[in-house]
Amino acid sequence: MIVKICGITNQEDAAAAVAGGANALGFNFYPRSPRYIAPERAAQIASPAGVRRVGVFVDETPARIEQISRVASLDTAQLHGAERAAEYPASLPVWKAARVGADFDFAPFRDCPVEALLLDGPAGELFGGAGEPFDWMLAAGAPKPIIVAGGLDASNVARAIALAHPWGVDACSRLESEPGKKDHRKMTDFLRAAREALGP
């Protein structure tokens, strides 16, 4: 099971996330995000073996994604743009993000060559940390493993897991003291609640 903390911008937050039980860290490489981190800076943030390093991208070229993945030692590409399957990076597992609204349909993703679908809440022009949940019942019938994102914190992650039966969960903005800076108490509480709900 994946328990991911996204929007990591510094070593202190990364270390606290891992200590609390996160097994994936997200680095946002979308320049317009308030959580943007330069690839060279992400490379300086250490993480232990077994913790996935996930890059968040929006409409980047495969070549650029692969270049950043080498610089920042990424394990997975999380794609939030309008990328087609032919535009996915060849060297990394892909998590394709989709925004879930009332009329959401899994049909476009049924043959998508991805490791997982990351289901996110509505976010306007923001990517990676808008803090809005979606109706987790809409995750039923997913054709791929799913990761639930959007508006998760310690107060609601167990319910999201109970309703969506995901492969993993991903939290960001509700665990912050300000964009890009984690509140370690909120983060620890979320990780504990997520681990308890996901089980072994």
pLDDT in tens, 78-102: 999 899 999 999 999 999 999 898 8
Residue span of the structural domain in which 146 resides: 2-198
Q: What is the pLDDT of residue 101?
A: 84
What's the pLDDT score for residue 54?
A: 98
User: How many Cβ atoms are within 10 Å of 168's Cβ, its own excluded?
Assistant: 22
Report pLDDT for 194.
97
Which residues lie closer than 8 Å to 42 by C-beta, 6 or more apart? 8, 27, 29, 53, 55, 71, 72
Q: What percent of the chain has pLDDT over 90?
A: 84
Distance CA(54)–CA(43), nearest Å, equals: 12
Rounded to an integer, the average pLDDT of 161-165 is: 95
For residue 139, the 8-state DSSP code is G
**pLDDT for res 103:** 86
φ/ψ of residue 165, rounded to 5: 50, 55
Please give the C-alpha separations between residue 198 and each of 17, 44, 54, 163, in angstroms, as whole numbers: 17, 31, 20, 12
Residue 144 scores a pLDDT above 70: yes
Split at pLDDT 50, 70, 90, the class of 125 is low
We report the CATH number of the domain holding residue 168 as 3.20.20.70
Beta strands in the chain (DSSP E): 2-5, 24-28, 52-57, 76-79, 94-99, 116-120, 146-148, 168-171, 176-178, 181-182
The span from the first CA to the last CA of the chain, in angstroms, equals 8
- If you average pLDDT over residues 129-141, what whole number do you get? 82
pLDDT at 200: 67
Q: Average per-residue pLDDT in the chain? A: 93
pLDDT of residue 127 exceeding 60: no
**Among 45-59, 127-141, 171-185, the least confident range:** 127-141
Catalytic, 112? Answer no
Res. 22 pLDDT band, cuts 50 70 90: very high
Choosing from 13, 120, 153, 170, the catalytic residue is 120
The total number of structural domains in the chain stands at 1
C-alpha distances out from residue 199 to 23, 75, 91, 168, 175, Å: 14, 24, 31, 11, 21
